[in-house]
Amino acid sequence: MSKATDILSPEHGAADAHDDHHEHHIPKGIMRWVLTTNHKDIGTLYLWFAFIMFLVGGAMAMVIRAELFQPGLQIVEPNFFNQMTTVHGLIMVFGAVMPAFTGLANWLIPMMIGAPDMALPRMNNWSFWILPFAFSILLASLFVEGGGPAFGWTFYAPLSTTYSGDSTALFVFSVHIMGISSIMGAINVIVTIFNMRAPGMTWMKMPLFVWTWLITAFLLIAVMPVLAGAVTMVLTDKFFGTSFFDAAGGGDPVMFQHIFWFFGHPEVYIMILPAFGIISQIIPTFARKRLFGYASMVYATASIALLSFIVWAHHMFTTGMPVAAEMFFMFATMLISVPTGVKVFNWVATMWRGSMTFEIPMMFALAFIVLFTIGGLSGLMLAITPVDFQYHDTYFVVAHFHYVLVTGAVFSIMAAVYYWIPKWTGRMFDITLAKWHFWCSLISVNVLFFPMHFVGLAGMPRRIPDYALQFADFNKWISLGGFAFGLSQLIFLAVMIKACRKQGEPVSDQVWEGAEGLEWEIPSPAPYHTFDTPPVVK
């Protein structure tokens, strides 16, 4: 790999023809992307897809916030409002955050462990290319008679069965496809990490991003089939006369929630464990100091993953469980804060007595630590069953999971993109614009989500299109923050377009002064094929 091959125009590779690699088979134009089995191409596809979905889901959030700008019904009907909250949630979870992490995994895992590509490249292609179909089906359902799914992304039965519109069939089908895609992606990650590590890349030398993704992949394989089961039962209950969730036929609507959250709780860790990995890569780089407590980070991640299987019913404290079950799920949930705390403490200890600089990825990573921790602390409050009875299904919960998912997962994805994109394109992104993106996002996201704690505590339920007058002032601020946050992401779009067009200064191989790891030893931009001969890790 003497020559750096331009990843965005692989025909250069063919022109170079420095060896008999497969570069010259690469089709040009659109077919390159359709047929690609290259982990970098597929990573790029995943990331752009996720970004487009982020903007689509964000546009729905804008509709929601516009309707909630003031009391009364102004812009949309309640039925459409419910479709917006539902599809916003589905798109952000399955269309934005998860594919973005899969995109990062594709780009980075082979480069971090010294592998030439993912282990199953053709399946890799397929697991991406079924996603656009899944989301086309989901979005198309909004236009059928009766509208799209309007029962919340949690699709509780019987609202999603007996009482839903016919578009439920489309919803079920699209969730099946998303699930298949996720499972294939997870299998690929596991097989790659198990079989394709370079000589000397022992388990406890793997970068934390690789570790966290490995654990995430096991979570995916464990719980995506459970989701598939849940949607299938919804399908047969609605269309084929079964009664899994209908008491009149011997079923139980609460059983739906048990099944859903048995998937759903590990799912929230699926969306945060890779984020922990990213932050654990970025903080040491810009603190110029090794990650504190590497081993304990690995064990903490594994503990969180294991605990995630025994806490699901904390989403269901008001469903009327026996008090012993409420106790169990309260205590188990509180326990999760211990390994999560260990992670935060380790990051702070990494920073302590380091030599810090504050480039864009570091700024996002620091914002992540503070804001994710706020979300974690409100999560700890939510674990306390007696007070959860008051918080449950209010805006306090909405504030909590947006702090964890937006300023947590999404900020970590942005940090990751800013951190690694110079390696991918060989050029530094537009730092001035990126600073604007960071500060606008940071301020607006807090105006958007922080007051939600207040209206939630004051008693505003979630998923309502109209509200009592005492919530009016804060909702106005929340909406303004929302619009500002939405617009701020257009700056991100501009930075990304400029970056992909290769505008900006060329960067060194190491890119960042303190960066360590195999991906920083290959040329910038990363050649189309890396590590054809495995490196030796000492």
Partner 1 sequence: MNRLGICVLKAWTALTLLMTGALAQASGNEAVSALNLRRGATEISGQVYDLHMLMFSICVGIAVVVFGIMFVSMYLHRKSRGAKPANFHESVKVEIAWTIIPFLILIFMAVPAAKTLLAMEDTTEPDMTVLVTGSQWKWHYKYMDRDVEFYSLLATQREQIDNRYSKGENYLLEVDRPLVIPTGQKVRFLITSDDVIHSWWVPDFAVKKDANPGFINEAWTRVDEPGIYRGQCAELCGKDHGFMPVVVIAKEPAAYEAWVSEQETIRKQAKQEEQRLLAMNMSMEELMAEGERVYNATCAACHMPNGEGLPGVFPALKGSPMALNDMQGHINIVLNGKTGTAMQAFGKMLSLKELAAVITYERNAWGNNTGDMVQAKDVNAVASGE
Residue type, 260: F
Q: Which is nearer to partner 1, 274 or 465 (CB)?
A: 465
Out of 9, 37, 232, 296, point to the residue binding partner 1 (CB under 8 A).
296
* 246 flagged as catalytic: no
Report, in Å, the least distance between residue 219 CB and partner 1: 22
Stretches 3-11, 75-83, 111-119, 269-277: which one binds partner 1 (CB under 8 A)?
75-83
* 392 flagged as catalytic: no
Over the Cα atoms of the chain, what is R_g?
Answer: 23
Q: Does 517 bind partner 1 (CB under 8 A)?
A: no
What binding mask, one character per residue, do residues 314-343 give for partner 1 by CB under 8 A, x or -?
----xxx--x--xx--xx--xx-xx--xx-
Contacts for 176 with CB less than 8 Å, ≥ 6 apart: 228, 231, 232
* 182 flagged as catalytic: yes
Asked if residue 69 lies in contact with residue 156, where contact means CB atoms within 8 angstroms, the answer is no
Q: How big is the CA angle at 55 (ends 212 and 413), to the nearest 5 degrees?
A: 20
Q: Which of 462, 463, 476, 498 is catalytic?
A: 462
- Is the backbone of residue 430 left (phi > 0), alpha (psi -120 to 50) or beta? beta
Q: Does 515 bind partner 1 (CB under 8 A)?
A: no
* 280 flagged as catalytic: yes
Q: Which of 340, 385, 444, 479 is catalytic?
A: 340
Q: Does 450 bind partner 1 (CB under 8 A)?
A: no
Report, in Å, the least distance between residue 217 CB and partner 1: 26
Q: Does 143 bind partner 1 (CB under 8 A)?
A: no
Q: Which of 164, 181, 333, 412 is catalytic?
A: 181
- # residues contacting partner 1 (CB under 8 A): 101
Q: What is the 3-state secondary structure (H, E, C) of 263-328?
A: HHHHHHHHCCHHHHHHHHHHHHHHHCCCCCCHHHHHHHHHHHHHHHHHCHHHHCHHHCCCHHHHHH
User: Six-digit token pair at 22?
Assistant: 């497969």
Out of 10, 58, 293, 481, point to the residue binding partner 1 (CB under 8 A).
293
Q: Compute the distance between CA of residue 256 and CA of residue 364 in angstroms, rounded to an integer.
A: 38
Asked if residue 232 lies in contact with residue 259, where contact means CB atoms within 8 angstroms, the answer is no
Out of 205, 288, 476, 502, point to the residue binding partner 1 (CB under 8 A).
288
Report, in Å, the least distance between residue 509 CB and partner 1: 21
Q: Which is nearer to partner 1, 15 or 338 (CB)?
A: 338
Contacts for 376 with CB less than 8 Å, ≥ 6 apart: 337, 340, 344, 404
Q: Which of 67, 117, 388, 519 is catalytic?
A: 117
Q: Does 289 bind partner 1 (CB under 8 A)?
A: yes
Torsion angle, alpha carbons of 159, 163, 166, 168, to 10 = 10
Q: Compute the distance between CA of residue 38 and CA of residue 163 in angstroms, rounded to an integer.
A: 45
**Cα first-last separation, the chain:** 21
Out of 91, 307, 351, 405, point to the residue binding partner 1 (CB under 8 A).
351
Residue in 40, 36, 26 with CA at minimum distance from that of residue 129 = 36
In the range 471-510, which residues lie near partner 1 by CB under 8 A? 471, 473-474
Q: Which of 5, 164, 174, 280 is catalytic?
A: 280
Report, in Å, the least distance between residue 446 CB and partner 1: 14
Active site residues: 88, 117, 153, 181-182, 265, 267, 269, 280, 314-315, 340, 343, 462
